[in-house]
Amino acid sequence: MTSWRKDSKEISQDDSGWNKAQIKQQERLLKNGTAWDCFLFAQRFKEADIPSLQARVVVCGSAWECTQFALRIPDANIGILQKRILEIGTPNEVLLFAMGAANSGLAGLDVPALQAVITQQGTAEECRMFAINIPGADIKALQERVIAVGDSMSCAQFAKTVPGADIKALQTQVLALGGPGCALFAGISDADVGALQARIIADQDSYSCGLLARLGAPGTDIGVLQEVVIRHGSIGECLTFACLVDGADIKALQDRTMKAGTSWDCTLFAQDVPGADKEALIACANAIEAEAKAARDAEDVTPR
């Protein structure tokens, strides 16, 4: 036995039956029930009036509730629900509906209409997800939207993950924008690693230099990238470079840390970097601490 709550009273019924209480409950839902209650009712009772409950969901439900009804109610009318989702849904809600329907193998998906919402209003990431997950997606149109609104990382991710993407066009945009997308793009087959590396170095972009060096794309110059990190990067970036980049000049990175880092930076470098001169780093850390203590002591005895 199960129960269905109506007007704060529980009405018992047999799971296999369809009684007057359920009929009355459905009538109430069709008159003034919420979309979510209509969905739950349709999901629970096989005898439910699916077309009428769906009509109520379309009238008062959100795009997300329409999506749930479409995906989880076997006799739902996908065309009607899809139309409503296109009318009221955000690009992200439209994307989630399209992905859910495609993954479930539902027939009747209007790919051009759904894609139009994404290409007109969607983010670069929404375009990428649509391109990857929706059969029949127009890769060229989605790519154009990515180039128009995305940053260099978005363009690089599209090129890296979407079959049929125009690598040359996307690389041109990445080079125009600069930034870490240049490093990510260098790992793509047919990428112009030399041009991408040159853009990063010209920008003195220490983060992107470190990322490119860590990715280890063929043709990268670790020495030149490291020089940018040492000259323009943070002490944390120097530590990361030393830890993660094959062929890094540990001594040069260590010297930068000892010259500009805190005692804690020196201690971390000694602990985490294979090949570091631990004795020199610990001595440097101790010296920095002693200097700081002397400064504090001098401040304490200064007449006020």
pTM for the whole structure: 0.83
Which residues in the chain land under pLDDT 50?
A: 1-16
Long-range contacts of 134-142 (CB under 8 A, 24+ apart): 134/98, 134/99, 134/102, 134/109, 135/102, 135/111, 136/111, 137/111, 138/112, 139/163, 139/164, 139/165, 140/166, 141/115, 142/115, 142/118
Say what the pLDDT of residue 302 is: 61
256-295 tens-digit pLDDT = 999 999 999 999 999 999 999 999 999 999 999 998 888 8
